[in-house]
Amino acid sequence: MQDFTNKIAVVTGGGTGMGRELVCQLIAAGAHVAMCDVSAENMAETQKLASALGSGKLTSHLCDVSSEPDVLRFRDEVAQQQNTSHINLLFNNAGIAGGGSVIDIDRREWERTFGVCWYGVFYGCTAFMPMLVASDEAHIVNTSSVNGFWATVGPMTPHTSYSAAKFAVKGFTEALIVDLRMNAPHVQCSVVMPGHIGTSIALNTSSVLGKHSAMELDEQEVANVRERYLALGLPVDNVPDDHIRQMVQQQQEDFRDKAPTTAASAATIILDGVREKRWRILVGEDAKVLDAMVRQEPEQAYEVSFLQKLNQQGHMGLARNDEQTEE
């Protein structure tokens, strides 16, 4: 699919980050786009930005991708508002972080994270598959992560729900290659594995999970953060609780503002991968380096020495180990 002109694209998580940039770049390339998000306010900002870049039809839809009835309603709205029985592009991009531990588990948070990051992809594919098959050519793009082949963000941070979901997305998309080749050969698919991308996922996750912001962490949560910082060698023994909260807030903002790859660059890499019909799209130099290292030394991948080697190459430094990746 070299040309996106007049193609009909669906983008989940279009309100911020890579989703917003995908919407903007698709509209600029001449496509018609239906985006969904849980935030009408964020989608309104995307709509404003994208509408200045092209004349394609852009529709916005409230949808929680972890809910199959919501996704089915979204599909029906797309068909009606875009006046179409087919789509050409499906970007299952929406994601949140959370649900780190199964030892000290918050079951609601764990399942919410897994629901958005995995079932959001599965429901998107199953709901829109008839519309993809009905097109002359189509492409499914599922967002996994470097945490889809490396299940950690550091030695002191459990990361089970997000990693499990992203591993599932990767395996599912790879399995789709043969499934589509046998049953719908005009439909292609790609799995996207971003490294550290400049998005608001760390800031947005709390609101999606119905929790407070960093500045509203309670005493126990602050104590847990302090313990992780101390384990990483940060001298925060006598730092006031409010300063710990400010550190977490700054860390989340830095994740967005100081990433090695911008959301706009990530969207460009993804769309170029679609044009080139690549099924495996690594986003960011850090993702490429990490992929090579994990393949070379898989049994060392969760040791501190592995992280130190990664850090020596200038990627995913130990100071960022409490942060999340992508979307």
Domain coordinates of the chain in residue numbers? 8-199+261-315
Mean pLDDT of 39-63: 97
pTM of the model: 0.84
Specify the pLDDT at position 250: 61
pLDDT higher than 70, residue 60: yes
Model confidence band, residue 213 (pLDDT cutoffs 50, 70, 90): low
Q: Where are the alpha helices (DSSP H) in 106-213?
A: 107-114, 120-133, 160-183, 201-208
Instruction: Fold for 8-199+261-315, please state it.
Output: Rossmann fold (3.40.50)
Nearest to 65 by CA among 88, 89, 105, 36: 36
Distance of CA 42 to the CA centre of its chain: 16
Specify the pLDDT at position 144: 98
As a whole number of angstroms, the longest Cα–Cα distance in the chain is: 64
Mean pLDDT of 191-219: 67
pLDDT higher than 70, residue 167: yes
**Percent of the chain scored above 70 by pLDDT?**
84
Specify the pLDDT at position 324: 35
CA–CA dist 31, 6 (Å, integer): 5
Other Cβ atoms closer than 10 A to 255: 22
Specify the pLDDT at position 223: 77
Specify the pLDDT at position 318: 41
What's the burial of 226, exposed, middle or buried (CB within 10 Å: 0-12/13-18/19+)? middle
Distance of CA 181 to the CA centre of its chain: 26
Specify the pLDDT at position 224: 73
**Angle, CA of 265, 64 and 163, to the nearest 5°:** 60
Specify the pLDDT at position 205: 47
Nearest to 175 by CA among 194, 151, 191: 191
Of the candidate ranges 24-38, 85-99, 175-189, 306-320, the one whose mean pLDDT is the lowest: 306-320
pLDDT higher than 80, residue 15: yes
The tokens describing 235, both together, are: 């001298």
Specify the pLDDT at position 90: 99
What's the burial of 109, exposed, middle or buried (CB within 10 Å: 0-12/13-18/19+)? buried
Nearest to 54 by CA among 13, 4, 128: 4
Residue showing tokens 């039809």: 57
User: 3-class SS at 116?
Assistant: helix
